[in-house]
Structure formats: structure tokens, C-alpha cells
């Protein structure tokens, strides 16, 4: 399949990419191409110009210095294998390691994944639970937005034309118990339901909890009812059952479904996968 004709340019810098996409609303950023090209081949997307940012060194690299900083062009494979990511936010490494297959992980990037905002993606769910910050550059300067506010709806984010995600910042969660679990679609491997939990423990008591859900919902979102049900509990069966029913109400207005996996099924599974996530976090 051939995409519709377009012009192709290689950005010489992040500012150049910003300029090339601000001047022309028909232009799109090209990172790994692993979401954009399939959409273009199906003619679901027909940009007139692609601005390739994949060779910009400024957008690469992962560093850990108090917080974790992940360049937007980092591939899923690089993130999954990074010792820094494993130390600061192991569940993000897990989620990136579950994306698609090894070929996709070699070329798909975190920046492209979150900009695309497929509701069935994995990393957004962990970024929302982890309280990550998305750093964005534009012609008027830089801005940052929390992951929670970044993901708005199906394939819709806070990102505007002429803006480039430069890096994703994640707090140091090494002292927390965390996990990401997903029910993968049997064919595509995308998440039918994905749940991320981050637990702050004091002995056997859960001092505080952050929970996010994706796959089942139109975008990755916090589940505050489930968080309250877990916080202050000893994570016993009663607390897990309460959290499993709370998560289902938390997401009830944002559910997504299809013929094979309708909304009600995904909603029920969010409770099951929440319990699994807590158990996985506690090891």
C-alpha cells in the first residue's frame, strides 16, 4: 500500500521542526513512523509534508538525576532495557517492553506513542499513574504539562500544531511498589485493558496509592475512587474488592468498546486487572 504523495524533509534542529510544522498546518512530525505510516497507508492520515525528527540528538538519551528524563525519540526497546528506567520507574520499563513486538519496539518511540495517543497504548497509563511531566517546545518557548492533563480523548492530546515533545520527565519512584499489567489483544497486542498502580507502603499498610487505567477508556486516566479504596488499607481482600468495584465506577463515563470486547466487558476486566496489578506490585 502506498500513502498519498507528500514532501519529506529532515529537520536540522528542534527549532527547525517547530518552524516547519508551524508554517504549514498540513505538515506532520515523523518520529519512528510506526503509528503514522500505517495510518497513512490506510489513507486515514494524509499529511502534505513529513518533518523527520528521528536524527535530532537533542531528542535522544535517557538520564537519571533526581528525576528520570527520557528523550522523546527514545525507542520502546531502549526504555525497556534502560537501567535508569528500571531503577526509577520499573513499571514504565515493563510497559514499554510489552508494546507490540520486538520489531515495533526497536523503532517506535515514547514521544510518538504519547503524541499519537491511541487509547489502547501502554506507556500513557504508566505515565499518568507515575505523575510524569511532558516537556514541549514551541515557537513561543517551552511549556510542560502533566501526563494526566496531556491525554484528553481518543487520539487527542493537549499538543497543538507546531509543538514538539522534547522529553518526558518521571519522578523517582524507586521506593514505591509499582506494576503495570495488561490484557493484550490476541492479534495486535495492544491493551484491551491496562492498569498501572504505584503504592507507597509503610510496612504492611498502603500509605498512598496512584492508579491509572487505559485500553478500556478513551484515554489513559487516573482512578481516584480506587486510589482512596487502597490508601490506608492493608491491601487485604476486602480492600482489593472495594478498589476493584471503585475502579469500575471511576471509568464508567469514559469507557470504550468494540464488537469483540464491549464496554461492559472491559469495565469488569478493569477490576480484575487492578487486583492483579496490586498483587504484582507487592511481588
Partner 1 sequence: MKVSMTVNGKGVERDVEPRMLLVHFLREELDMTGTKIGCDTSQCGACTVHLDGKALKSCTMLAVQADGADITTIEGLANGDLHVMQESFWENHGLQCGYCTPGMIMSTTALVQDNPNMSEGEIRHQLEGNLCRCTGYHNIVKAVQQASEKMGGGD
Ligand X SMILES: Cc1cc2nc3c(=O)[nH]c(=O)nc-3n(C[C@H](O)[C@H](O)[C@H](O)COP(=O)(O)OP(=O)(O)OC[C@H]3O[C@@H](n4cnc5c(N)ncnc54)[C@H](O)[C@@H]3O)c2cc1C
CA distance 269 to 275: 10
Q: Binding ligand X by CB under 6 A: which of 29, 64, 221, 230?
A: 29
Question: Based on the number of CB atoms within 10 Å of its own CB, is 12 exposed (0-12), middle (13-18) or buried (19 or more)?
Answer: exposed
Q: For helices 237-250 and 263-282, what crossing angle results, to 10°?
A: 140
**Residue 113 in the binding site for ligand X (CB under 6 A):** yes
182 near partner 1, rule: CB under 8 A: no
- Is residue 31 within the footprint of ligand X (CB under 6 A)? yes
Element (DSSP H or E) covering residue 67: strand 67-71
Shortest distance, CB of residue 187 to partner 1, whole angstroms? Answer: 7
Q: Which is nearer to partner 1, 2 or 57 (CB)?
A: 2
Detail the DSSP E strand segments found in 171-267: 177-184, 191-202, 205-214, 221-222
7 binds, among ligand X, partner 1, none (CB under 5 to 8 A by kind): partner 1
In this structure, are residues 125 and 206 in contact, taking their beta carbons and an 8 Å threshold? no
In DSSP terms, 33 is beta-bridged to none
Q: From CA 229, how far away is CA 239, in angstroms rounded?
A: 6
Q: Which residues in 174-233 contact ligand X (CB under 6 A)?
A: 188-190
Q: Which stretch binds partner 1 (CB under 8 A): 36-44, 88-96, 192-200, 259-267?
A: 36-44
Tell me which of 62, 99, 128, 216 binds ligand X, using CB under 6 A. 99
Nearer to ligand X, 44 or 259 (CB): 44
Q: Using CB under 6 A as the criterion, which residues of the chain lie in contact with ligand X when the complex forms?
A: 28-36, 38, 72, 99-100, 104, 108-109, 111-113, 115-116, 121-123, 159, 164-165, 188-190
Amino acid at each position: 500500500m502506498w500513502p498519498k504523495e507528500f514532501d519529506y524533509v529532515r529537520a536540522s534542529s528542534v527549532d527547525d521542526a517547530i518552524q516547519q510544522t508551524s508554517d504549514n498546518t498540513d505538515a506532520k512530525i515523523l518520529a519512528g513512523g510506526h503509528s503514522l505510516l500505517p495510518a497513512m497507508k490506510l489513507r486515514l492520515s494524509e499529511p502534505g509534508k513529513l518533518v523527520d525528527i528521528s536524527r535530532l540528538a537533542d531528542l535522544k538519551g535517557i538520564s537519571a538525576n533526581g528525576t528520570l528524563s527520557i528523550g522523546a525519540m527514545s525507542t520502546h526497546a531502549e526504555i525497556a532495557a534502560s537501567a535508569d528506567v528500571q531503577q526509577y520507574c520499573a513499571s514504565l520499563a515493563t510497559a514499554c517492553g510489552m508494546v507490540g513486538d520486538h520489531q515495533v519496539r526497536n523503532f517506535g518511540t515514547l514521544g510518538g506513542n504519547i503524541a499519537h495517543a491511541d487509547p489502547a497504548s501502554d506507556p500513557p497509563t504508566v505515565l499518568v499513574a507515575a505523575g510524569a511531566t511532558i516537556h514541549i517546545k514551541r515557537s513561543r518557548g517551552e511549556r510542560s504539562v502533566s501526563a494526566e492533563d496531556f491525554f484528553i480523548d481518543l487520539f487527542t492530546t493537549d499538543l497543538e500544531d507546531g509543538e514538539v515533545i522534547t522529553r518526558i520527565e518521571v519522578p523517582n519512584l524507586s521506593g514505591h511498589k509499582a506494576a503495570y499489567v495488561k490484557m493484550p489483544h490476541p492479534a495486535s497486542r495492544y491493551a484491551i485493558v491496562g492498569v498501572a498502580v504505584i503504592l507507597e507502603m509503610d510496612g504492611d499498610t498502603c500509605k498512598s496509592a496512584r492508579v491509572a487505567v487505559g485500553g478500556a477508556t478513551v484515554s489513559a486516566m487516573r482512578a481516584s475512587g480506587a486510589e482512596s479504596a487502597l490508601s490506608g488499607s492493608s491491601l487485604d481482600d476486602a480492600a482489593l474488592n472495594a478498589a476493584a468495584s471503585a475502579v469500575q465506577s471511576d471509568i464508567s463515563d469514559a469507557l470504550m468498546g468494540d464488537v469483540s470486547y464491549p464496554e461492559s466487558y472491559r469495565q469488569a476486566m478493569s477490576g480484575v486487572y487492578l487486583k492483579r496489578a496490586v498483587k504484582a506490585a507487592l511481588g
